Structure 1
């Protein structure tokens, strides 16, 4: 289990904090991320002295060696956070806050939602569009009263302390199931949006597992942990973006991926998933399926997802393309990455995707 240092003990409820970098912990001129050994003691002091201190939960932080700009995160980094959370959850902790950068916040959140499906863990991710510390104050660490970091941090702590199982993203005064969230603005405080009509994996979380059921879940994770940790270098998710080009461009891009080991490919279609047809593209899609690649169609539109209503999109499903439904791009990426890490054959990955879709269709309420 990772070692922990207590930040405050004002309430009996304990929340485990993971600091992973991003704008939240940046400081100075020009802005640059502070090292954990500098930032976390400053955060400790600010939490203890803040007017809200009496209303915040007991807070501990986990030792985390991976602190970087979130635009640099890779599948190996996602597995690092999964492993850190898993080991601490196995040691008996349930409630976590993870602070990271906003560029890939929705991707990491959706990945953790997939990885911890079926458990009773409570993870809240947050970040900020402006740093926590005021860079106009160069002789002391003070909270930037005009920024969004403290408010996001405080609300994430309170959400985690409530202990509802699942993985959520808290930002701009709102929170959503992680799988529904996407970044919609590059610099506004209201940079993210999501919704609460979430199906799998959100509806797979259990309010409170018995010790026996939790141990069964943990045993299942331990059986595949070594494989998951060894797979990131070989787990590749590609994206092909439909543009108003000659159809040969798209088929050539797909053909270039067919020489690689089985991977995942997101086909970003127009509108409700419309993809320009050509015999060459149809042939390439058929070959991709035979070689074990998973091709999933998503929409370039931020809302609405894909459907088979139009012939311009429906044709691809005859060539084993998987419909992304209403999943966001982040959620599709996260699910594909987890399938590549967790399951060892193309057949098992497709079977699990189908199971997830069926789960989504059968229930939209939290299991009891």
Structure 2
């Protein structure tokens, strides 16, 4: 099969829809997520009813056994969705919609963006702030006209049908690359924001991937599945949030992690990544590096990222702290998690992080 015919085959396949729970599929009084066996037929009937003009693309359901509140998701669960999508991609499917809860939607989307970099897969992640179904009508399943769920799903269907490679989040009438997205409101319909800055993020997707290159990509991924699943059982990412305290508070938190297996640690600094200094904290950061931990500095600010403009922040980079650049906190979590799962040594993980950040042009210079 030629590359052009292969693309035609992919783009003509039904969009694979994955239902993973969340507010989107909640129903009743009190609200609780419907089981897939109940919700998916109801959703299929509603889609058919609203598709009398034939304006919606063809859809198939991808069987998913993991349906739970997104606040309960773990690294093991993230790997479950990676494996589910990878298997479907291997079988010839290319366009997907994943419906999940909003609590960790940006984290899951960013993780999938890391995991599928270099492929031509098209994944749209969405959810809603209010349930799709109207719980005031208990005799039949009807779309709640005041909910954002139907609009989010419709927009996601159009985006997935377009087939552009990459992982995107679609919400509130907008869409963004998954690694740029963060939740900014706890209950408003415009709950997420992101951006589409050129050359950002560093991980790229291939617009048109010939059969041989796609197979090479799959051949690189599949032998690693077992080790990725095993590492997910123990993978940990920790966040140390700087407050106007003595630096000893952060040092003690960091010190408590040194005896753990190699993990990811996010230092949430002030402003452009400023961290309270002390010789003891500097020594602990160096020890964390020597123990194989990856410590990444991020900003508590939602926009702008970190820099080494201030002495109050630049000192940490002399003690092996990595700069989060312009990445959001969910994206930093996702990249750390993927590196822990994908690579077998601290040196390889660190090398890969530095390579990605260098591509973004946000390297922190050493003093």
SS at match of 1:169: strand
Where in structure 2 are there 5+ consecutive unaligned residues? Answer: 1-10, 363-367
Q: Is the 8 A contact 2:27 2:33 kept in 1?
A: yes
CA distance in 2, matches of 1:109, 1:36: 21
Are 1:129 and 1:187, in contact at CA under 8 Å, matched by a contact in 2? Answer: yes
Query: In the alignment, which residue of structure 2 is the partner of 1:366?
Result: none
1:357 and 2:357 matched: yes
Change (3 A) 1:350 1:78: same
> CA offsets per residue over residues 94-129 of structure 1, 9 Å max, x none?
000000000000000000000000000000000000
| Contact 1:95-1:161 at 8 Å conserved across structures | yes
The answer to whether the aligner puts 1:102 opposite 2:99 as a matched pair is: no
Alignment match, 1:311: 311
Equivalent residues of 2:202, 2:359 under 8 A apart:
no
- C-alpha displacement at 1:223, in angstroms? 2.1
Q: In 1, distance between residues paired with 2:59 and 2:206?
A: 24
Q: Shift of residue 313 of structure 1?
A: 0.3
1:237 matched to 2:237? The reply is: yes
- Where do 5+ consecutive residues of structure 1 fail to align? 1-10, 363-368
Aligned to 2:17: 17
Match of 2:45 in 1: 45
User: Does the CA contact (< 8 Å) of 1:285 and 1:319 recur in 2?
Assistant: yes
How far did residue 200 of structure 1 move? 5.6
RMSD: 1.4
State the TM-score, normalized to the length of structure 1.
Answer: 0.94
Per the normalisation by structure 2, the TM-score is 0.94
CA distance in 1, matches of 2:52, 2:153: 12
Whether the 8 Å CA contact 2:113–2:179 is kept in 1: the answer is yes
* CA distance in 1: counterparts of 2:229 and 2:247, whole angstroms: 38
Specify the alignment match of 2:169 in structure 1.
Answer: 169
Partner Cα distance (2:233, 2:68) in 1: 19
**Corresponding residue pairs, total:** 352
The reply on whether 1:114 has 2:109 as its aligned counterpart is: no
What's the counterpart of residue 335 of structure 1?
335
Render the CA deviation track for 1:6-59: whole Å, top value 9, x for unaligned: xxxxx9551000000000000011110000000000001000001576111000
For residues 248 and 300 of structure 2, what CA distance do their matches in structure 1 show? Answer: 20
Q: Which residue of 2 aligns with 1:257?
A: 257
Rounded to whole Å, the distance in 2 between the matches of 1:66 and 1:198 is 35
| Aligned counterparts of 1:207 and 1:52: Cα–Cα separation in 2 | 32
What is residue 67 of structure 1 aligned with on the other side? 67
Question: Given that residues 69 and 101 in structure 1 are in contact (C-alpha distance below 8 angstroms), is that contact kept between their aligned partners in structure 2?
Answer: yes
Cα distance in 2 between the residues matched to 1:86 and 1:338:
15
Match of 2:7 in 1: none
Give the distance between the partners of 1:242 and 1:53, measured in 2 at CA: 55
Contact 2:133–2:143 (Cα < 8 Å) also in 1: yes
Task: Indicate whether 1:299 and 2:299 are aligned.
Answer: yes
Residues 1:146 and 2:146 are matched in the alignment? yes
- Structure 1's consecutive aligned runs of 4 or more residues displaced over 6 angstroms after TM superposition are none
Give the direction of change, closer, same or farther, for the CA distance of 1:178–1:240 in structure 2 (3 Å limit): same
Give the Cα separation in 2 of the matches to 1:216 and 1:13. Answer: 22
CA pair 350-294 structure 1, distance change in 2 beyond 3 A: same
